[in-house]
Amino acid sequence: MDFVKDWELKWEDALKLWSDYVKLTPAKFLFSKSEEKTEGLSGSFAAIRLLDHRVLLSVEQIQKYKLENYPLEILGHEIGHHVYCPGDLNDQAKLIYLAGLALPKLGHLTSTIVNIYEDLYINDHLKRYNHLRMEEVYQRIGKNEDRFWNFYMRTYELLWALPSETLTEGKVDDLIQSDASLVCRMIRNFPNDWEKGMFDFASICFPYFFKSDGETIQILGKISSILDTLDAGKGMAPPSGITDIEVESEIFSSELGSIKKRELSPTDFSSICNAMGIEADISDIVYRYYKDKALPYLVPFPELRTPGAKEEILEGNDLWDPGSPLEKINWMESAIRSPIVVPGYTTVEDVYGETESQEVKMNPIDLDLFVDCSGSMPNPQTSLSYLTLAGAIISLSALRTGSHVRVTLWSGKKEYKTTSGFIRNEKEILKVLTGYFGGGTCFPLDLLEDGYKEKPKRKRHILMISDDGIDTMFTQRYPKDPRSIVKNALETAEGGGSMVLQLYNPKGNKIVTEMGESGWEIYPIQNWEGLIQFSKKFVQKNYVRNQILHQTNS
């Protein structure tokens, strides 16, 4: 174990392989199996952890493969994962997704293929620009007759102009030679844009994991010993900003068709998180997904603009009347006018006028949002739900302007979930929005009845997102008259009410027509995608136009 101290001294030199300005916490050496298990290092002699940007090293396995004399090669490689490829959790997530597209039925190997792909870029950089002995590291690990391992090693032989069988076992066949040549071109063509080659690389790797009868081949031990990014995201929250991913291919473009940009579903996003070792609850994953989807659409929510109180402005002086309070006399001005003060003759007082205040008080309108979650609605945890997305866009926009939001997800009778009143906690709001019942349809009238017995301190806008099932607001059996309860809520809220409804025949639904006549703004849509356009129009009508009118009139 004497090599450990030498490796620690080489840490700064390893950082400088990438830049004089790179700063990372020194590598952590693990001296036993129990330490490796605690830190999450399994199978490989080295690994990275994106949570704390740490490099982990197994002392026992470094000795096993006799790698004690290669500190710069191994430390430089692990640092490369942090600063070069992938660099961060988002880039890792994108590579995981692109590899998954090319590896149907091999989802368990996605992280492995991504790891190997990243290693090619890092090792080639260290070999070409820093002249390190990267090939000797693989010679220490040893050769293998496995076809995939030979394809991988042959790629290095071509990249570094090494004689055949320097790293490979036996003579490689024409298919391996062809595949290695293609990958070699990728590494050289996309050194700073490796996402472009991920789909093609994974597609090339795909056949190596199948036997002639279609049975999948298990990954071999030699490969597992070099995998250092399998659980790179362990302990981290789900990544952000990857709801849409650009897919490019130079070789297998026909398999992608005309679709270049792929829109991830919640299921895709969850699979990516699992592949990176992120141990998050499904509610946290879906929360992150819908927040990211909503962010590009966020706009200000309706709010009232109230001018501040008028301000006094000094206009001059006037003669002080003896009947006025004594404290109103401006003694300085009176003495300037006459050194002899004669009350009522030489004394003066200040005269004030009024001017409009430049202050404008913002009075946000709170949002009371009801989202239908009956069996006719999509499950937001498995596929993209435009109801959930529209609710997220409007709710987050409301929070931006200081509004409080109550969200209610409803389905059958007494089957609903609501936030703990009107709140400003976006995570709690989105966790309610991303839930799912999938049952019958019965609007929760008791929430309208209980919530609007008294006039709220701030005005509220009541927004319904549903379909024909909204008619249960009037048609259900309830101890009190449903229409009077709804009317009272709308009048007490004072901020208006809107219903965006998927209706196949908007004019043929008498109940919906009645709701429109009773004061509700009805927005019929043909499909759920129309909710995004509704979200924009909703804010344009209620906020942007009113703000322009206010500025013009003032």
Summarize pLDDT for 223-234 with one digit per residue, the tens. Answer: 888 888 888 888
In this predicted model, what pLDDT tens digit does every residue of 448-465 receive, in sequence order? 999 999 999 999 999 999
Please determine, for residue 352, whether its predicted confidence score (pLDDT) is greater than 80: no
pLDDT at site 545: 40
Please determine, for residue 214, whether its predicted confidence score (pLDDT) is greater than 80: no
Percentage of the chain modeled with pLDDT above 90: 58
| 64: phi then psi, degrees, rounded to nearest 5 | -60, -45
Region 428-445: what's the mean pLDDT?
94
pLDDT at site 543: 46
Strand partners, 317: 350
pLDDT at site 302: 54
The greatest distance separating any two alpha carbons of the chain, rounded to the nearest whole angstrom, comes to 121
pLDDT at site 145: 84
pLDDT at site 437: 94
pLDDT at site 540: 62
pLDDT at site 296: 84
**pTM for this entry:** 0.79
In this predicted model, what pLDDT tens digit does every residue of 257-290 receive, in sequence order? 555 778 899 999 999 999 998 988 999 999 999 9
In this predicted model, what pLDDT tens digit does every residue of 9-30 receive, in sequence order? 999 999 999 999 989 999 999 9
DSSP letters, 179-236, are HHHHHHHHHHH-TT-THHHHHHHHHHHGGGGB-TTSPBPPPPHHHHTT---TTTTTTP
Q: What is the four-CA torsion angle of 109, 110, 116, 117, rounded to 10 degrees?
A: 150
Please determine, for residue 106, whether its predicted confidence score (pLDDT) is greater than 70: yes
Please determine, for residue 315, whether its predicted confidence score (pLDDT) is greater than 80: no
pLDDT at site 548: 42
Q: Which residue has the higher pLDDT, 256 or 226?
A: 226
Long-range pairs of 244-250 with CB within 8 A, sequence gap ≥ 24: 245/94, 245/97, 245/98, 246/195, 247/98, 247/101, 247/199, 248/195, 248/196, 248/199, 249/199, 249/200, 249/203, 250/186, 250/196, 250/197, 250/200
CA 92 – CA 385 distance, rounded (Å): 26
Unique residue bearing structure tokens 């500190």: 71
In this predicted model, what pLDDT tens digit does every residue of 36-70 receive, in sequence order? 888 888 778 999 988 888 999 999 999 999 999 99
Q: Which residue has the higher pLDDT, 132 or 552?
A: 132
pLDDT at site 357: 57
Average pLDDT, the chain: 86
Q: How confident is the model at residue 432 (pLDDT cuts 50, 70, 90)?
A: very high
Output the CA angle 95-96-99, nearest 5 degrees. Answer: 80
Region 433-438: what's the mean pLDDT?
94
Residue intervals in the chain for CATH 3.40.50.410: 364-553
494-502 and 521-525 strand pairing = parallel
Q: Which residue has the higher pLDDT, 106 or 462?
A: 462
Radius of gyration of the chain (CA): 34
- The candidate with the shortest Cα–Cα distance to 466, out of 420, 396, 416, is 416
CATH superfamily for domain 364-553: von Willebrand factor, type A domain (3.40.50.410)
Contact status, residue 121 vs residue 193, Cβ threshold 8 Å: no
Q: How confident is the model at residue 216 (pLDDT cuts 50, 70, 90)?
A: low
